[in-house]
């Protein structure tokens, strides 16, 4: 007689499989797991390969940035917001700078606006290239990762020349940008963009059109339009579900109003609208749109100063503001409350990845473990932004 959890399941010759089936296995995925893209822990209850329940646990990368910001002057906060989404740091800085500028009423020079748009879109390209590479690794392909990193490296190199750092730039300052961009660098961006357009086509052929990739991603983790609304999804995830919402179009900031670009939407080409393949495809198309925007900026960039008039000792007038921008991973919102002092009274940051992680418990049940890896990969979270 064999007993499992106090239940008699018969002897070795007459094992009662029906009774054995009734228990679920609890597994911890993460916090050190290559598929969770950082320090996310997901507690999953599985029935053999099928997931019955998944609970994400966050907080492993919590660094108290919101509280820190209350003690540092407005300029010193920028290195901290950099460290939230460390793969899309330009977007983080841009949002913060816009928030403070709006409170101060600072006019940003045209040249600085153009440079901000250029670096912002380059950052989007770099971030989506990283997604492309890492997602392919999640699903078992290695070479796409190397190709994408080769291209991404060119962007990082350019950022290093502009700002001095490869990931955490502290480049977009309140009132403008730190360093001016040279004509030589602009020419290099033109060359990079021309080359990238061809590369992206190859990339899509290599991964997106691959039958194995389609089988692994089509119809997996479908996020319907309704569900995306309910959870407050933003960015590529919302657009993959077929919702035409891009802040750059709907609530333009900077010079986006003058630029001409499309918003790619998920169409359910390989399966249902809002599946993993759609989320992948929206991002690849967004690289092309960013290229379009970059070309217009490179043509239209104006001469002039790169720093607006900002007092040496920054004191933001009393009041509060909520401002959101479109970052590579979705909407980022800053709620800044000022009491008129040298430091923010309160800085609350709304992160898009946080809302996306909260979708996991609804997406996971009924999936295979391997599909769950594809799901986490497709929502493209950065844990630095989730925990802040």
Alpha-carbon distances, residue 9 vs 23, 25, 32 (angstroms): 12, 17, 36
Q: CA-to-CA distance for 286 and 282, rounded, in angstroms? A: 6
Spell out, one character per residue from 88 to 127, where the chain touches another protein: x when CB under 8 A holds, - when not: ----------------------------------------
Closest CA relative to residue 385, chosen from 351, 360, 355: 351
In this structure, what are the phi and psi dihedrals at residue 53, rounded to the nearest 5 degrees? Answer: -160, 140
CB of 369 to another protein, least distance (A): 12
Q: Please list every residue from 285 through 304 that binds another protein, using CB under 8 A.
A: none
Residues 185-244 that bind another protein (CB under 8 A): 202, 205-206, 209-212
Q: Which is nearer to another protein, 212 or 318 (CB)?
A: 212
Contact between 170 and another protein per CB under 8 A:
yes
* Binding flag, residue 153, another protein (CB under 8 A): yes
Considering only residues 8, 107, 150, 339, which one is a binding residue for another protein as defined by CB under 8 A? 150
Residues of span 306-365 touching another protein by CB under 8 A = 365
| Residue 3 sits in the site that holds another protein (CB under 8 A) | no
Per rule CB under 8 A, is residue 147 in the interface with another protein? yes
- Asked if 164 touches another protein (CB under 8 A), the answer is yes
Residue 346 C-beta: closest distance to another protein, Å: 18
Closest approach, Cβ 252 to another protein, in A, equals 30
Site for another protein in 10-39 (CB under 8 A): 21-24, 26
Q: State the nearest-atom distance from the C-beta of 334 to another protein, in Å.
A: 17
Give the residue with the Cβ less far from another protein, 186 or 255: 186
Binding residue (CB under 8 A) for another protein from 8, 11, 47, 318: 47
CB closer to another protein, 96 vs 261: 96
The answer to whether residue 161 forms part of the interface with another protein (CB under 8 A) is yes
Beta-carbon-side half-sphere exposure of residue 340 (alpha carbons within 13 Å)? 1
Does 160 participate in binding another protein (rule CB under 8 A)? Answer: yes
Supply the minimum distance, in Å, between the C-beta of residue 90 and another protein. Answer: 15
User: Which residue among 137, 168, 298, 307 contacts another protein (CB under 8 A)?
Assistant: 168
The site for another protein (CB under 8 A) is made up of 5, 21-24, 26, 45, 47-53, 72, 75-80, 83, 141, 143, 147, 150, 153, 157, 160-161, 163-165, 168, 170, 179, 202, 205-206, 209-212, 365-366
């Amino acid at each position: 007689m064999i007993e499992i959890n106090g239940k008699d399941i018969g002897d070795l010759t007459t094992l009662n499989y029906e009774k054995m089936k009734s228990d679920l296995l609890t597994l911890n995925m993460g916090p050190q797991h290559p598929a969770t893209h950082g320090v996310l822990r997901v507690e999953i209850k599985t029935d053999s390969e099928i997931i019955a329940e998944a609970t994400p646990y966050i907080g492993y990368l919590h660094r108290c940035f919101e509280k820190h910001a209350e003690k540092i002057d407005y300029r010193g906060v920028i290195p901290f917001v950099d460290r939230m989404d460390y793969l899309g740091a330009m977007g983080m800085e841009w949002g913060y700078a816009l928030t403070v500028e709006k409170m101060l009423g600072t006019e940003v020079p045209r040249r600085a606006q153009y440079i901000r748009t250029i670096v912002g879109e380059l950052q989007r390209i770099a971030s989506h290239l990283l997604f492309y590479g890492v997602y392919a690794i999640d699903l078992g392909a290695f070479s796409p990762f190397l190709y994408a990193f080769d291209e991404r490296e060119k962007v990082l190199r350019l950022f290093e020349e502009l700002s001095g750092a490869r990931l955490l730039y502290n480049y977009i300052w309140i009132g403008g940008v730190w360093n001016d961009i040279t004509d030589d660098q602009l020419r290099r961006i033109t060359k990079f963009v021309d080359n990238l357009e061809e590369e992206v086509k190859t990339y899509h052929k290599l991964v997106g059109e691959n039958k194995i990739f389609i089988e692994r991603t089509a119809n997996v983790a479908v996020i319907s339009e309704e569900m995306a609304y309910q959870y407050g999804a933003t960015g590529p995830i919302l657009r993959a579900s077929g919702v035409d919402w891009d802040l750059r179009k709907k609530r333009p900031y900077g010079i986006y109003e003058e630029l001409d670009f499309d918003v790619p939407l998920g169409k359910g080409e390989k399966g249902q609208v809002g599946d993993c393949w759609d989320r992948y495809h929206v991002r690849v198309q967004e690289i092309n749109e960013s290229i379009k925007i970059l070309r217009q900026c490179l043509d239209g960039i104006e001469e002039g100063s790169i720093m607006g008039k900002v007092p040496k000792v920054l004191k933001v007038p009393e009041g509060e503001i909520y401002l959101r921008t479109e970052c590579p991973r979705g909407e980022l919102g800053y709620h800044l409350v000022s009491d008129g002092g040298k430091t923010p009274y309160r800085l609350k940051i709304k992160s898009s990845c946080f809302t996306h992680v909260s979708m996991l418990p609804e997406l996971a049940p009924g999936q295979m473990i391997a599909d769950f890896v594809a799901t986490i990969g497709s929502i493209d979270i950065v844990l630095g932004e989730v925990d802040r």
